[in-house]
Structure 1
Amino acid sequence: MKKKSVTMSDIAKAMDISTVTVSKALGDKDGVSEELREKIKQKANEMGYRFSYTSKSSKEGFTFNISIVVAKHFINDASAFYWVMYRHIVELLQKQNYYGILDVISESDQANRSMPNSVSDKKVDGVIVLGQFDDEYVSELLDLDIPVVFLDFYSSDNRTDTILSDSFFGSYMLTNYLINAGHRNIGFLGTITSTSSIQDRYLGYYKALLEKGIPLRSEWVIDDRGPEGTSYPHFDLPAQKPTAFVCNCDEEAYCLLNQLRSEGYVVPDDISIVGYDNHIYSTISNPRITTIDVDSKRMSYEAVETIIKKIRDKNYSRGRTLVTGKLIIRDSVKILK
């Protein structure tokens, strides 16, 4: 037997309000407070109500599509962190009755300033940019006069609304954890010119060293990727190694751990390692890696809320939003004192 569709009248009866009020709320019309509007939309989602998008979009001039733009090299690996973020975004958009369209940008697309077809053909109402792009590409995108939110990176363009993990403070916490464990010879793994998040993690690491009067040794700041963003298969480690490494992400921490093991070192007995993201690599490694848990769900939620508000109000601007993570202590750090 076919399940009966939920109507506005059903929602009205469930909430003991008029059908007109429900209609105004779901149609984003005047005459309903913002608080009640959100309650009605939440109840509609709970009851399984579905909009008629064809009629709604034609009347209001919206497509109810959002482009999720990401550089190809960030998602080459099926287990990449940005795939996790993408899934969160799509699920959250669905709850708001929007569809997420994945637009993957190649190196040549970025170099040639080629915009996604969904954007240039006006098939979307807004754009969520996931991960780093160069300033020229960002400027070209912002010049299209379409609502844009940047997720997990920021640029020098002051027109951007950005949702970020607090990479600076997270790396600062990790480095202080190592220092409090007795480590004074601490390296950093990450190409600091590659992305804004890696650079912030390096600066958090450096601040922790400065506060404790520990000198920064440039030979212990190790690149982990090339100019195109592709990770190195093998890191160029110095002969004299530190007692600990702060790694810019869990995947690179996992790779470093395996390289050290192949060279005869034991983690954490010989060298301690900390990562970042609390991604799958931190738990499949042996030992499991101490890391920062990035609240990817919260970041995705803030990005979706922001882009929808920007679509509804062309003058809305949020600026830069930081989402704080938390330290996850596991087995990859040796206590020296």
Structure 2
Amino acid sequence: MIKIHKLSNNMRAGGQVNILAGRGAVSMQNIADELGVSKVTVSKAINGKEGVSGPLRQKILQTAADHGYVLPDYGQRKARTIAIIMSERFHSGDSGRFYMGMYEHINRELRMRAYSSVMITPNPETLEHDAETIEKPGMFDGLIFLGILDKEVRERIDRIPLPKVYVDLYDVGYRSDSVVTESIYSAYEITKHLIRSGHREIGFVGTLGVTTSINDRYLGYMRALMEKGLKEQERWRIPDRDQAGRAVDLQLPQELPEAFMCNCDETAFRLVRELKRRGLSVPEDVSVVGFDDDIYAGLCEPQLTTVAVDMKEIGRTAVKCMVRRMERTGTENSEGEVYRIPGKLIFRDSVRERKGRMKSEK
């Protein structure tokens, strides 16, 4: 599926131009004087350059539109268009709400810079056709990979020589920038919350090796346990998906821990449902925490203690990285950076404070 967001002519980004209004030519200096900003600022806003805040950029472009000014397209450049590549399974339904929310934040940041965006959801069957579309000269100026993709899809599109930014996953080749939620420390903090609440037997729900975010959250969980001298029990490490990222039934042992740290809220939601099926209560019998603060955190009964992902900052950072990549020469040969966006702990009702909690842990 392809979803296109196009801009009107009065918001196109092009080369150095004058803005024309009806009968007379009006320069960028005229706009600068009207808004009380510098000519350089107006130029950057019109040409989609860095260094102008989103609201001010929108104000400059809107001022031009209000006065009937049009940015002429001399046939030399079109508005920059970014392809956002994501799995089709994230496009709809509850499982797609998280990534669609992140997509909207990215798209909003692109619009602030007067860029167009096209969502492409390739699968192994449509891969060659989608790749041919992406590779068509002048079709796209950059690619943003959003979330986990089929290995075949990711490797094929990764070979296309366009500027790239990875969101919620890492570029394994370290040639492009990656923007991810900071997972290790956040998982460490939420596991410490379980320990401070008196829990000593804590399991982890998530399939290791499927995504780097699950691995990172497991590392944070393990760090918190080790600091308190607590040992992980392998029987309490519960897979939640297969190697392709598709959800699998949670296979819980007969003997359960006092609490579970889940790698995401959807998994925590399914865990709570399975515990209830067994006749157990959360948090009275077992405490549960998640990660993401997505729709499942609120749908769950009780609502989940979790880590909120800062989607707005992720979107802003991803687009800034893309702009830099497009303006930099030799993009494919430059080394990428990893930008880790901090999350925020959200305390709700899925954790019980157990008796025997030590004063030093309060």
Mean alpha-carbon deviation: is it higher for 248-257 or for 139-148? 139-148
Cα distance, 1:126–1:52 mapped onto 2, change above 3 Å? farther
Partner of 2:292: 277
- The answer to whether the 8 Å contact 2:147/2:167 transfers is yes
Aligned to 1:229: 245
| AA partner of residue 122 (structure 2) | I
- Aligned partners of 1:312 and 1:52: how far apart in 2? 24
- On the 8 A contact 2:303/2:348 being kept in 1, the answer is yes
The whole-number CA distance in structure 2 between the counterparts of 1:135 and 1:297 is 27
Alpha-carbon distance between aligned partners in 2 of 1:143 and 1:19, rounded to the nearest angstrom = 40
Map residues 135-150 of structure 1 onto 2, 5 A cutoff: 138-150=154-166
User: 1:294 deviation in Å?
Assistant: 0.5
Q: CA deviation at 1:22?
A: 4.1
Cα deviation per residue 1:270-290 (whole Å; 9 max; x = unaligned)? 000000001111112211100
For residue 190 of structure 2, what is the aligned residue in structure 1?
174
Whether the 8 Å contact between 1:175 and 1:208 is mirrored in structure 2 is: yes
Contact 1:11 1:43 in 2 (8 A): no
Q: Distance in 1 between matches of 2:266 and 2:303?
A: 12
Q: Supply the distance in 2 between the matched residues of 1:308 and 1:17 (Cα, whole angstroms).
A: 22
**Which one-letter code corresponds to 1:262 in the other structure?**
R
Question: 2:205·2:237 contact (CA, 8 Å) conserved in 1?
Answer: yes
- Equivalent positions of 1:260-271 (< 5 A) are 260-271=275-286
TM-score (norm 2): 0.80
1:287 aligned partner: 302
Q: Does 1:59 align with 2:91?
A: no
Q: Does 1:325 align with 2:343?
A: yes
Aligned residues: 324
Output the CA distance in 1 between the equivalents of 2:105 and 2:97: 13
Kindly indicate whether residue 119 of structure 2 is the aligned counterpart of residue 102 of structure 1.
Answer: yes
Establish whether residue 70 from structure 1 lines up as the match of residue 86 from structure 2: yes
3-state DSSP of counterpart to 1:94: helix
1:40 CA displacement? 6.7
Mind listing any 5+ residue stretches in structure 2 that lack a counterpart? 1-9, 11-18, 358-362
Match of 2:13 in 1: none
Unaligned runs of 5+ residues in structure 1 are none
Preserved contact between residue 277 and residue 291 of structure 1 (Cα < 8 Å): yes
Identity score, percent:
34
- Name the CA distance, whole Å, in 2 between partners of 1:228 and 1:206: 24
1:163 and 2:191 correspond: no
C-alpha change, 1:53 and 1:197, in structure 2 (3 Å) is farther
Matches of 1:51 and 1:135, distance apart in 2: 47
State whether residues 68 and 103 of structure 1, in contact with CA within 8 Å, keep that contact through their aligned partners in structure 2: yes
Alignment partner of 1:11 out of 9, 31, 43:
31
Change (3 A) 1:16 1:77: closer
Shift of 1:155: 3.5
SS of the residue aligned with 1:59?
Answer: coil
Partner of 1:200: 216
- The alignment partner of 1:292 has SS state of strand
CA distance, structure 2, for counterparts of residue 261 and residue 37 of structure 1 = 49
Secondary structure (helix, strand or coil) at the match of 2:121 reads strand
Tell me the distance in 1 between the aligned counterparts of 2:144 and 2:69.
23
Query: In structure 2, what is the Cα distance between the partners aligned to 1:183 and 1:21?
Result: 55
Q: What is the aligned partner in structure 2 of residue 89 from structure 1?
A: 106
Paired with 1:292 and 1:243, the residues of 2 have a C-alpha distance of 20
- Alpha-carbon distance, 1:41 to partner: 3.2
Q: Contact conserved, 1:73 with 1:229, CA < 8 A, in 2? A: no
Say which of 123, 126, 134 aligns to 2:142: 126
Work out whether residues 291 and 329 of structure 1, in 8 Å CA contact, stay in contact via their aligned partners in 2.
Answer: yes
**What's the CA shift string for 1:283-304, capped at 9, x where partnerless?**
1221110000100110011001
C-alpha displacement at 1:148, in angstroms?
Answer: 0.2
